Copies of this chain bind each other. A is one copy, B any other.
Amino acid sequence: MQNYRAPVDNVLFLLADVLGFYRHANLPGFADAGPEEVAAILAEGARFSEDVLAPLNRTGDIEGCVRNPDGSVTTPPGFREAHRAYAAGGWIGLAGDPAHGGQGLPYVLAAAMNEFVTSANMAFGMYPGLTQGAIAALTLHGSDDQKRTYLPKLMSGEWAGTMNLTEPQAGTDLGLLRTRATPNADGSFAITGTKIFISSGEHDLADNIVHLVLARIEGAPPGTKGLSLFVVPKLIPDPDSGAGTRNALSCVSLERKMGIHGNATCVMSYGGATGWLVGARDKGLRAMFTMMNEARLGVGIQGLALSEAAVQMAAHYARERLQGRALTGAVQPAAPADPIIVHPDIRRTLAAIRGFNIAARALMLSVALDADIAVRSPDAAVQEAAEDRVGLLTPVIKGVFTDRGFDNAVAAQQVFGGAGYIADTGIEQLVRDARITMIYEGANGIQALDLVGRKLPRDGGRAITAFFAEVGDFIAAHEDDAALRPFVRPLKKALDDLQGATVWFMANAMTKPDNGAAGATDYMHLLGLVALGHMWGRIAVAVAAKGTAATETEKADLLFGRAFMERTLPETGLRLARIQAGAETIMAIPAEDF
């Protein structure tokens, strides 16, 4: 995206002053991430995103990926060089295990960097993003041998990774998967089947592509309990020579799609390809689930990232475009018209996006930090609490950030008027790119069902109870502070709505699960709004605590927070009303009448 400026200062402020990042210096890897190191890492990541990746975004959309007659795929101009530089910068293995070539830095820094990369060029960011997913899967479930073979090459970016789940008849319902694995004599398996919607499935950015494939071993039970995970490399590495033998798999076509044209979305065909079991037999879905939090958080970050890219473009345009006059009198009387940023309708649009972005960044970083704590803390109780919070808020971040990220891109496009519909302006690409984030890695309706059906009831409601305490304690601690009232009072009302919705579910959804499912999306948004409102409260407290040390930007940003509390947070009442409407009416409609 043109003229993108990564929000480095905001990230540094949130980490240091709102989230207390540097209080965790005792955790593994955190000692290497002091204030100076973090500032240097983010500054370098910002520079790379702004200078190298952003200029390739429009051309990536226009040129797209091309599948050649031999089945190879050519990525857009500049992507190869950028990927090489990105890999050489150590970004792919930033938070990876140092035993296998990673830098071992906190994951929260990788999450911050992912926002920058995605704002600059989402289609590009998906290539290393998928590689990071494969790294996570093999780190958690791979054998020592698999780790030695694959992780160093993936972390260095010499090789790339993918995830192969979906088939034409099996999207959300993975139990319907048909790809089969037949045991070979040497302990490997022959993988046969067709996978669709495979992001980064084939490309020219790496020497090898490591596919992680869900398949059913012959004789395994039907449904999700018979699925196993396999590592299926495009080139089978020879342990001695390092060279590889071509495996029996190929990209048979690229999908023509609405956006992310710079990323190759492949139909992959496996014709008896050699693969090796990752983790336990028939436990493939569980293996997928353990790394799903990171993947879903990653997609939530994409929602935020495109919202940020969009508002930067729209605000720039609104300051430059001269049209009409301020209602209260000309602001630039010498010019033929005032810049459209004088208009309240433009301001409420931009303020709503900014108000979301800053709180969303805080929430995303807080959950990423909890993900670090969940695996690195020496204290089991601290680990458990962090894991609960990650589990509860990950579907919220995925669903809410991408729904709002898309809406924000659309709202930003509206600021451009007619120019927003023209491809050259660039903003319509952000809308098209953002649209996929609501769909992939579990459509947002599935995130909502995961939240309401699994995360809420788990362990007797331990996670949501802790969340209520977290927000409730904040309110109790600050409700007598008159200066904080514009933040605390709306938050209290919003928390009441959330608790009311939770009580309603307990009374009405246990016996009638349709009532839970009918309100799930609204509950997800309601919880997200409370979590975002809470972040604004914490930001306001942090700015107040900094006193004269607070920057002008930090102080000015609080106005976006107030606009959020006044104009966005009241949505909780609507969400509650919809939840309480229940399922009766919509379930009564005959299927053929829709």
Query: Which residue numbers of A lie inside 8 Å of B, CB to CB?
Result: 166, 169-173, 176, 196-197, 255-259, 311, 315, 318-319, 322-324, 327-328, 336-337, 339, 341-351, 354, 406, 410, 413-414, 417-424, 428, 431-432, 435-436, 438-440, 443-445, 448-449, 513-514, 517-518, 520-521, 553, 556-557, 559-560, 562-563, 566-567, 570-571, 573-574, 577-578, 581, 583, 585-594
Contacts and interface: CB of A to CB of B under 8 A. Distances in A.
B594 A327 contact: no
29 contacts: A166-B418, A171-B419, A173-B324, A176-B336, A176-B337, A196-B418, A255-B422, A257-B421, A257-B422, A258-B431, A258-B432, A315-B594, A319-B592, A319-B594, A339-B591, A341-B591, A343-B445, A344-B518, A345-B445, A345-B449, A345-B517, A345-B518, A350-B594, A410-B435, A428-B435, A559-B586, A563-B585, A567-B577, A570-B573
A35 B320 CA distance: 56
A418 B439 contact: yes
Which of A311, A439, A570, A589 has its CB near the most chain B CB atoms (within 10 A)?
A589
Contact of A589 (B347, B445, B570): B347
A322 B339 CA distance: 52
Nearest to A312: B594
A166 to B, nearest CB: 6
A443 B420 CA distance: 11
Given A517-B327, A567-B581, A589 B556 contact: yes
The 8 closest A-B pairs by CB, nearest first: A344-B518, A566-B581, A344-B517, A315-B594, A570-B577, A345-B445, A258-B428, A256-B423
A344 B439 contact: no
Contacts of A567: 577-578, 581
B514 A594 contact: no
Given A257-B423, A406-B410, A418-B166, A347 B587 contact: yes
Contact of A518 (B324, B348, B440): B348
Given A258-B422, A563-B586, 4 more contacts: A172-B323, A414-B439, A420-B439, A431-B435
A588 B566 contact: no
B414 A438 contact: yes
Nearest to A327: B513
Nearest to A556: B593
A590 B422 contact: no
A247 to B, nearest CB: 25
Contacts of A435: 410, 413, 421, 428, 431
